[in-house]
Amino acid sequence: MRQRTEQVSPLPVAPVVRPLLLMRWQALTYLHWALDPALVAARLPAGLVPDESGGRAYVGLVPFEMAGIRLGPGRLPLPQGRFPETNVRTYVIGPDGGRGVYFHSLDITRLAPVVVARLGYQLPYTFSQMRLARRGDRLAYRATRRWPAPRGASSHVIVEVQQPLGPDDTTELDHFLSARWSLYTALPGGAIWRARVDHAPWKLHAARVRHLDDELVAAAGYPTGLGEPDHVRVADAVTVRVGAPRRVG
């Protein structure tokens, strides 16, 4: 029987006291599309169900820069620990009632973190050519997948960062999409694992899409031609602690 679902919270649900990974996420943009939950459910492994807001599920394209990755209690820095990343993700409820992120793909430019994440967290990291640039109030992201297939799938996003959102401007949907304190993954045999995530509350900015030409969301199995995103935000940098994965289903 599925346990009671956690509440959406802008604060971490549980602190990560002994992190397996530490890192910094910066220059992060959220682009989200509202979809029929049945469409998202078809892309999930058994044991996970779509998390819904207002009767809709959401798929996100999230480009950002990863920096300062450190491993284990000894805080061992990983080589090549700063690089751009673009992930395609959705939001799920696990068999333990937790709310979290499920990643369809995570494109990065470094091989060592790919190996760590695939072995330690069973996450679908891919090797890509990527660039990130900031000029004035605009952030630009480019990605072209190199391995695995579909080789050549690309993404080009330019957003204009606008005013910061204060407490009265931040909506329930903002929290639903950004305040995610767990990630879920499924092993080949069907087991569901959860890793907790801990960082300071997000400080979000309104943002406007200036250019969007993306193939990564379609490469994850979603329809092409989704159009303009239904929700766009840019986030200030946060320092992140990720706990060890544990089986929950």
Q: Which domain holds residue 234?
A: 21-247
Distance of alpha carbon 60 from its chain centroid, rounded? 7
Tens digit of each residue's pLDDT (9 = 90 or more) over 193-209: 999 999 999 999 999 99
- Percent of the chain surpassing pLDDT 90: 82
Residue 13 domain flag: no
Residue scoring higher pLDDT (54 or 149): 54
Overall number of domains in the chain: 1
For residue 136, which of 160, 165, 164 has the smallest C-alpha distance?
A: 160
Residue 82 has what pLDDT? 84
Residue 12 domain flag: no
Residue 160 domain flag: yes
Residue 15 domain flag: no
CB neighbours of 104 closer than 8 A, spacing ≥ 6?
43, 59, 87, 88, 89, 90, 124, 220, 221
Mean pLDDT of 216-238: 97
CB neighbours of 148 closer than 8 A, spacing ≥ 6?
126
pTM: 0.94
Residue 76 domain flag: yes
Given a cut of 80, whether residue 212 has pLDDT beyond it is yes
Residue 45 has what pLDDT? 97
Angle at Cα 92 formed by Cα 209 and Cα 9, nearest 5°? 80
Q: What CATH number has the domain bearing residue 234?
A: 2.40.400.10
Mean pLDDT of 65-80: 75
Residue 113 has what pLDDT? 64
Residue 149 has what pLDDT? 82
Residue 6 domain flag: no
Residue 14 domain flag: no
Residue 103 domain flag: yes
